[in-house]
Amino acid sequence: MLLIDTDMLVLLSATGLLDRVVTQLGFGIADVRRLAAAPHQVRKNKKLRDQFGAEALEEALPLIDSIPVIEPVADLELLDRLNQVMDAGEAQLFAMAAS
């Protein structure tokens, strides 16, 4: 399983490089997982719109939507500790990877 943070997912999707990078890392697109909030962030985040443009994000959104969401984190104690030192989304990804 390849866990991708929203910022990287948007960057790779908006530039058309997601499939290529996933393959280079030895995975298939079916192995990729994202945070549940990714599509909402793509639709609403002004910083992303300014950086990539609304058109590029709209084109990337179907691909982002098609990627399955990570499973709920089982180790809530680890998640709580990680939330104290990093972004909540990144904490979820790290906790999932650790399990």
How would you write the pLDDT of the chain (99 residues) with one tens digit per residue? Answer: 899 988 888 889 888 899 999 999 999 999 999 999 888 888 888 888 888 888 888 888 898 999 999 988 888 898 899 989 988 888 888 888 888
The pLDDT value recorded for residue 73 is: 86
- 48 and 92 in one domain? no
Query: For residue 59, what are the domain limits?
Result: 2-68
- 78 and 63 in one domain? no
- 89 and 64 in one domain? no
- 44 and 16 in one domain? yes
The answer to whether the beta carbons of residues 2 and 28 sit under 8 Å apart is no
- 77 and 51 in one domain? no
The answer to whether the beta carbons of residues 33 and 3 sit under 8 Å apart is yes
- 48 and 88 in one domain? no
Q: Which helix (H) or strand (E) holds 72?
A: none
Neighbours of 50 (CB within 10 A): 9
pTM: 0.81
- 41 and 23 in one domain? yes
- 78 and 47 in one domain? no
The pLDDT value recorded for residue 28 is: 94
The pLDDT value recorded for residue 43 is: 86
Q: Cα separation of 61 and 30, whole Å?
A: 17
